[in-house]
Structure 1
Amino acid sequence: MTDEATLLFIADLHLSPADPATVAAFHAFLQGPARTATTLYVLGDLFEVWIGDDQLDDPFYATQAQAFAQLAGNGTAVRFMPGNRDFLCGARFAREAGLTILPDPTVITPFGAPVLLAHGDAYCTDDAAYQRFRRIVRNPLTQWLWRRLPLRIRNREAAKLRQQSQQHNRQKSAYILDVNSTAVEAAMRAAASQLLIHGHTHRPACHQHAGGTRWVLPDWHEGRGGYLRLDRHGTAMLRLDGSDFFDQALNPPG
């Protein structure tokens, strides 16, 4: 990757027909800042729910895929890492959206130094119940069986799971829902990376750890959100209007 590269990172848009403000902000972003990027990385939970690629038969979701395809056609590469809401995005979605699906986690090496990318939920190790659930739903056999259920049943069961998740989260302490510092630092050491970028927690921040720096991406609820920009000049979090999200910026790794 050359020194002229500009990378943008977003996460947790939770796109759905029920939140038109966020959908409008998403399309404005793709028509604006995203077109200036060499690569756009979407680090999970692009959609509020994804029950299988036949969801693309719905015009709303087909339109979102087409928006990515148009961005890619204009020269911005799109990389998508599924999150806990949309881990069932598959080959059809990738093809129609003109993007590449990344495993979670992934290491990239812009400007000669490794950067660890993740959705972030795997680092919430204090939430033992969620981690057990995550292992079950990420099992290939579970996913094979799920995809063979009729669409109406998948829709019904997904709605139940979302309701149960919301109820359980209201009963959990804040620290349980956040990432675990030990898990984060172990992941950074394993990746030999001094920079980690993730989403999931909806707690935008820049944290300093023993092993380096961790950026947490903002969510986009009701059209409010932001993105992380990484180029040869440094790393900075920006609001959707281009203003600084924080009063701090870091130099690029390396």
Structure 2
Amino acid sequence: MQLADGKKVYFASDQHLGAPTMEESLPREHRFVKWLDEVKHDAAAIFLLGDLFDFWFEYKTVVPKGFVRVLGKLAEIRDSGIPIYFFVGNHDLWMNDYFETELNIPVYHDNQEFSFNGKLFLIGHGDGKGPGDKGYKRMKKVFTYPFSKWLFRWLHPDLGVRLAQYLSVKNKLISGEADVKFLGEEKEWLVQYAKRKLETKHYDFFIFGHRHLPMNIKVGENSSYMNLGDWIGFFTYAVFDGTSLELLNYPD
């Protein structure tokens, strides 16, 4: 994609709407919707890199209650012709085709390459990538196995959603979340992942979420890794103006 003059590409991740409760996450939803309403004026595309919801599961005829403000805003933006791309995270990995059929927003379950103004991006949520975190990687295989989803679907939504929300908050093995503190480049597994990818192919930018920690780290002579932080404590997002990629905070 070649960006038109004045147009930008926006990236955000890890809003975790619904956590720890719907009531407590409502101000964050308002803040995120306000951000969407502002960036739509010069957005060439918007990328949401997962964990928009703290839990999401699509039954055949049921989706989790709530989130009408953000869903309505996404529908409005997409209907205006602005492309939106969604990458599932570890909290909304059971997303199927609801976004695609209802909102016309493509959903990706793994990293994807995009090119803007000749710059090559590798984009994804980031969970389960790089060395280590073997417990979560095993758990993810269990949760993404079709039989596991089939079994969960047999739970009544009132029970299934309540159980999943409880585990999402309480069980860090399931959530795959680490402490929100910088571990050092040699221990930041997405930094190591990016460096390993550069051994076989050049990317100008690696953009991931999941870590909940805003980071912008040089991983090669002409390559950088950026983590988007979150919309819980940092309220950060990234913007590419056609030349440079910047990590910004959205004020209250």
Measured against the shorter chain, the TM-score band is: 0.7 to 0.9
**Match runs of 1:1-254 below 5 Å:** 1-4=1-4, 5-16=7-18, 17=22, 18-52=24-58, 56=63, 58=65, 60-123=66-129, 125-162=131-168, 163-165=170-172, 175=183, 178-190=188-200, 192-210=202-220, 212-221=223-232, 224-241=234-251
Task: Name the TM-score, length of structure 2 as normaliser.
Answer: 0.83
Distance 2:176 2:36 in 1: 32
Q: Is the 8 A contact 1:3 1:232 kept in 2?
A: yes
Distance 1:207 1:185 in 2: 11
Q: Is the 8 A contact 1:12 1:219 kept in 2?
A: yes
Which of the two has greater helix per residue?
Answer: 1
Structure 1 ranges of 4+ moved more than 3 A:
53-57, 166-178, 187-192
3-state SS, counterpart of residue 13 of structure 1: coil
In the TM superposition, what whole-angstrom CA distance separates every residue of 1:11-59 from its partner, at most 9, and x where no partner exists?
A: 001112231221111110111123320100000000111122555362x
Q: 1:189 to 1:79 in 2, by over 3 A?
A: farther
3-state SS, counterpart of residue 203 of structure 2: coil
Q: Is the 8 A contact 1:116 1:191 kept in 2?
A: no
Specify the code of the residue in structure 1 equivalent to 2:96: G
C-alpha displacement of 1:238: 1.6
C-alpha displacement of 1:145: 2.9
C-alpha displacement of 1:2: 1.8
Distance 2:198 2:88 in 1: 20
3-state SS, counterpart of residue 116 of structure 1: strand
RMSD: 2.9
3-state SS, counterpart of residue 46 of structure 1: coil
Q: Is the 8 A contact 1:6 1:230 kept in 2?
A: yes
3-state SS, counterpart of residue 206 of structure 1: strand
In the TM superposition, what whole-angstrom CA distance separates every residue of 1:112-156 from its partner, at most 9, and x where no partner exists?
A: 232100101122532211111112112233223323332133224
3-state SS, counterpart of residue 107 of structure 1: strand
C-alpha displacement of 1:169: 7.6
Q: 1:96 to 1:173 in 2, by over 3 A?
A: closer
Specify the code of the residue in structure 2 equivalent to 1:11: S
Specify the code of the residue in structure 2 equivalent to 1:83: G
Give aligned-pair identity as a percent: 21
Q: 1:21 to 1:189 in 2, by over 3 A?
A: farther
Q: 1:94 to 1:66 in 2, by over 3 A?
A: farther
Q: 1:82 to 1:73 in 2, by over 3 A?
A: same
Q: Is the 8 A contact 1:12 1:199 kept in 2?
A: yes
Q: 1:141 to 1:38 in 2, by over 3 A?
A: same
Task: Name the TM-score, length of structure 1 as normaliser.
Answer: 0.82
C-alpha displacement of 1:161: 2.2
> How many residue pairs get matched?
240
Which segments of 5 or more consecutive residues in structure 1 lack a partner in the other structure? 243-254
In the TM superposition, what whole-angstrom CA distance separates every residue of 1:70-113 from its partner, at most 9, and x where no partner exists?
A: 01122321110010011112212332233111231111111123
Specify the code of the residue in structure 1 equivalent to 2:37: Q
Which segments of 5 or more consecutive residues in structure 2 lack a partner in the other structure? none
